[in-house]
């Protein structure tokens, strides 16, 4: 029986479709405005009873499961104090200061990494100023995904003397798919002095994150 014909009996009861194999409810209509006696030109929703045939499943929308509502993950962290590195050594940047972290997925106390629990494509950005008082001629910023290099940005000048990169800022940006369970992103930096030694200093400040930040946002869910 068309559902519209039994609506008067449903005023105070539930509408339950029979999910048995013999059901004929698939593609029945639920009228959203019961004043239309003609059952036409009215708002309605088509109910697809069989979840395996749901055309929206498999993409960013999953209609065959209980819907969830979460805020879109986004974060921005920065170096709260300058960080010293060894010459020519890739070193993780210790972002301890959280500016924002929707979802709370950034670890700013132990591993200094972003590990979101929602799968999808994320836009990541990092910027870092070199504050070394040595002659840095080669300066690199990297995204590491699960401990392996994923993206890099590099400023390298050859044939120079006293190639000081003091106050120079480099950026690395990328769109990276995260599986929402185990994947994580970290930022590493390396600087090389033409002197062949010396302490590298990365700029950090508790009240100035313009040149020492790591940020990201979910741009497209995949589950």
Partner 1 sequence: MTGYYTTINQLVTKIKKVHTSLSDDDLNNSEIIELQNNLDGRGDYIKKWKHPSLAKPTQEQLDAV
Which residues sit at the interface with partner 1, rule CB under 8 A? Answer: 84-92, 94, 111-112, 138, 188, 190, 192, 196-199
List the structure tokens of 142: 């990297």
Q: Is 175 helix (H, G, I), strand (E, B) or coil?
A: strand
Report, in Å, the least distance between residue 140 CB and partner 1: 8
Q: How far apart are CA 144 and CA 64, in angstroms?
A: 35
- CB nearer partner 1, residue 93 or residue 118: 93
Look at residues 114, 75, 107, 85 and name the one whose alpha carbon lies nearest to residue 204. Answer: 85
Report, in Å, the least distance between residue 71 CB and partner 1: 29
Report, in Å, the least distance between residue 185 CB and partner 1: 14
Whether the Cβ atoms of residue 214 and residue 76 lie closer than 8 Å to each other: yes
Whether the Cβ atoms of residue 89 and residue 193 lie closer than 8 Å to each other: no
Report, in Å, the least distance between residue 94 CB and partner 1: 6
- CB nearer partner 1, residue 199 or residue 220: 199
Report, in Å, the least distance between residue 19 CB and partner 1: 52
- CB nearer partner 1, residue 51 or residue 88: 88
Whether the Cβ atoms of residue 212 and residue 128 lie closer than 8 Å to each other: yes
- CB nearer partner 1, residue 4 or residue 193: 193
Report, in Å, the least distance between residue 88 CB and partner 1: 5
- CB nearer partner 1, residue 50 or residue 195: 195
Report, in Å, the least distance between residue 112 CB and partner 1: 6
- Report long-range pairs for 157-166 (Cβ below 8 Å, ≥24 apart): 160/194, 161/135, 161/194, 162/135, 162/194, 163/135, 163/136, 163/137, 163/194, 164/132, 164/134, 164/135, 164/136, 165/130, 165/132, 165/136, 165/137, 165/139, 165/191, 166/130, 166/131, 166/132, 166/133, 166/136
Four-CA torsion 130, 133, 138, 141, nearest 10 degrees = -20
């Amino acid at each position: 029986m068309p559902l519209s014909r039994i609506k008067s009996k449903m005023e105070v009861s539930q509408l339950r479709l029979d999910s048995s194999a013999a059901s004929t409810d698939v593609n029945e209509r639920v009228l959203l405005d019961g004043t239309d006696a003609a059952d036409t030109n009215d708002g309605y929703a088509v109910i697809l009873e069989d979840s395996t045939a749901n055309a929206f499943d498999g993409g960013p929308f999953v209609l065959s499961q209980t819907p969830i509502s979460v805020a879109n993950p986004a974060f921005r962290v920065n170096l709260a104090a300058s960080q010293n590195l060894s010459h020519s050594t890739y070193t993780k940047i210790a972002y301890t200061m959280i500016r924002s972290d929707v979802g709370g997925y950034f670890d700013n106390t132990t591993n200094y990494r972003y590990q979101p629990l929602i799968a999808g494509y994320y836009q990541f950005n990092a910027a870092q100023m070199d504050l070394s008082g040595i002659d840095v001629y080669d300066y690199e910023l990297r995204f590491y995904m699960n401990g392996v290099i994923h993206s890099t940005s590099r400023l390298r000048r050859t044939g120079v003397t006293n190639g000081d990169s003091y106050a120079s800022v480099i950026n690395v940006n990328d769109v990276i798919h995260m599986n929402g369970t185990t994947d994580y992103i970290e930022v590493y930096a390396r600087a090389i002095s033409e002197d062949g030694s010396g302490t590298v200093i990365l700029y950090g400040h508790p009240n100035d994150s313009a040149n020492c930040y790591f940020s990201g946002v979910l741009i497209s869910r995949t589950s």
